[in-house]
Amino acid sequence: MQKQFHKLSMVLGAMLTGALLTGVVTSLPSGLRSDAYADQQASARSAQQNLAKQNLSTAQDLSTAFRNVADAIRPSVVSISTARTMLVRGGGGMNELPPEFRRSLPPGFEDFFDFDRRRGNRGNSSPERRRMQTGMGSGVIVRADGYILTNNHVVANADEVTVELSDGTELTAEVVGTDPPTDLAVLKVDQDGLMPVAIGSSDNIQVGDWVLAIGSPFGLDQTVTAGIISGKNRVQGIVGNGNGYEDFLQTDAAINPGNSGGPLVNLRGELVGINTAIASRSGGNNGIGFAIPVSLAKPILSSIIETGKVQRGFLGAQVGDVNSATSEEFGLKVKQGALISSVLDDQPAAQAGLQPGDVVTDIDGKTIRSGTQLRNYVASRKPGSTINMTVNRNGNEVDISVKLGELNEDAIALFSDGGTLGVTVQPLTSDTAKRYGYDADEEGLLVTGVEDGSAAAEHGIQPGDIIKKANGEDVRSDKDLEKAAAAARQSGQSLRLTVRRENSLMMIPVPLD
């Protein structure tokens, strides 16, 4: 930045000098003007030449930085090839012939190539045969004893994984563990003395900072591309069918098929991200690439190496973003943060004192701007760890410490989703009944969330409602509701819900697709 200000000062100085010289020249006698003009031109040329030299020097400095980073990081980058055996039907039939050859055959001649067709059962009795499916990707060495970080989708379902080092050495790799919700995987090769990458900070990197992407696009090993960080905290809904943990760095460094799993590094040669996806209509680079930030990858890496699996913290609360709609609904006093929309009874959030309508603005000294950020942070902590929150509650700041549980199948089952109905429910307890103004002995399912645009939302179901019956049958669990919805869908009829709202009991028919 100082160099840029220096250059700008040089240019402005040259312009000012030219203006002053012009003034002087016009006041000179005519006999002296030509000499003064010549001096003025010489001075301007000299200023331009100096500026050009400085620009060239800056470009050369940047080129040297790129070269140094590329040289330093190459030993840590690997190419990954995978193989998978698949069983497919068909063998020697018409489909095995080239299309142009099939079109040239006379009518009926194809029967010589497909005996099943003559039996009126073409293709159904074709024998199974094995076909080898191959794939390629990239990875980065994270420990000298052979641990490698890459994308889950690079090695998913592979029977064989081979890693090629920068010196051409090929090694068989073991898949130590995978984590589909973040699209990360850890491999291990039987080799010591490898060159691990230096781990940087994706939190500190800023939009506009230079980065390099290194990998094997289209099988071209050790390809280096340069760009900048174009954006941060991108959520694209591409991991885990939209249910994964995303907080992508966006870059315009060229990323293409085969780059997946390779490193995104800063100009200090430090790992800041794992190249994962691109936004493209053609399948090639359009200048929009996404990398998993190292802040999200580090705890996954450590957990897989230590235990072979990923252990995640569990808060026991539903969270969302702060926006105009939620601000109006909950009367929020802040413009950003993670909104606690509901809290499960007897779970970590409730035990710590979190309440619906709280807005988490800070965790462990880290500013929280969205529900996604809070969700990712909680998931990155180990079960049993304690996180310290700053919460805005009705305009007042409250400090809360939460000891996290473990996100497992039992914890996930506490949150139930009514599928196409579009509601989130939980069994009503005496505590939640009292909290929402109902009698302690009230029974049913408490609606804790309603998806925008869902069938439930369109037909008037609201958070705080109690679903007592579905199709005339009592509902006490999410399974009861799902069973009733499935029966209604199968019969082509609306799901008839008996709902209590405050002191009113109503029947609400909800059509299901």
Q: Which residues are identified as catalytic?
A: 153, 183, 260
**CA 411, 413, 416, 419 torsion: positive or negative?**
positive
* Contact in structure between 181 and 313 (CB atoms under 8 Å): no
CA distance 190 to 376: 33
Cβ-contact 186, 301 below 8 angstroms: yes
Q: Cα torsion for 360, 364, 366, 372, to the nearest 10°? A: -50
Q: Is 297 helix (H, G, I), strand (E, B) or coil?
A: helix
SS3 of 83, please?
strand
How far is it between the farthest Cα atoms of the chain? 110
Euclidean distance between CA atoms 341 and 372, whole angstroms: 13
How far out from the chain centre does Cα 379 lie?
14
Q: Taking Cα atoms as reference points, which of 394, 433, 413 lies closest to residue 347?
A: 413
Question: Taking a C-beta distance cutoff of 8 angstroms, is the pair 245, 264 a contact?
Answer: no
> Tokens at residue 74, please?
């190459």
SS (HEC) of 348-359: HHHHHCCCCCCE
Please report the DSSP string for 351-402 in residue order.
HHT--TT-EEEEETTEE--SHHHHHHHHHHSPTT-EEEEEEEETTEEEEEEE
- Residue with the two structure tokens 């897989």: 304
For residues 173 and 236, is the Cβ–Cβ distance under 8 A? no
Contact residues for 223 (Cβ-Cβ < 8 A; gap 6+)? 214, 215, 216, 217, 259
Per the CB < 8 A criterion, the answer to whether 169 and 139 are in contact is no
Listed in sequence order, the DSSP H helices in 77-121 are 99-104, 115-118
| Cα separation, 225 vs 212, whole angstroms | 6
Phi/psi region, residue 460 (left: phi>0; alpha: psi -120 to 50; beta: rest), is left
Helix (H, G, I), strand (E, B) or coil at 80: strand
Output the six-digit token pair for 477. Answer: 């669990």
